[in-house]
Structure 1
Amino acid sequence: MERIEALEERMAHLMRAVEDLSDVAARQAREIEVLERRVRLLMERAAEEEAIAAEAPAANVRPPHW
């Protein structure tokens, strides 16, 4: 009987650990989604700035020796 109780106790601890890990994985997945969205926005902004800089007239661009 002690062996069954020990196994049940072990199983309860393992189930709790699995639930905790599942919560961590879910939280990290949400954080990754937010970070991916932010990176995408930053890449779009950088592309827009590059496009604007490419359209700037040469008179507004400093010579390389400055």
Structure 2
Amino acid sequence: MKSIYDIQQFLKRFGTIIYVGDRIATLELMEEELKDLYQSQLIETKEFQSALLLLRHEIRMLKEEGTNPS
């Protein structure tokens, strides 16, 4: 997976669509859903790690963006 869009498409394969209107909250819920899928052994370790890394990076970038006045 190379983008947040890829993760969204991946989650759709499991019938999961997450959108709550707040970008960070949406990404955090996607992370929780990935954890649940992984703990249920429905996804491979590599898929889980790749998606988690992307999500956490995006969340960190958005939070930094929000704290730096422009």
Is the pair's TM-score, using the shorter chain for normalization, greater than 0.5? no
Report the TM-score when normalising by structure 2. 0.36
Structure with bigger gyration radius: 1
Report the TM-score when normalising by structure 1. 0.38
Which structure shows the higher helix fraction? 1
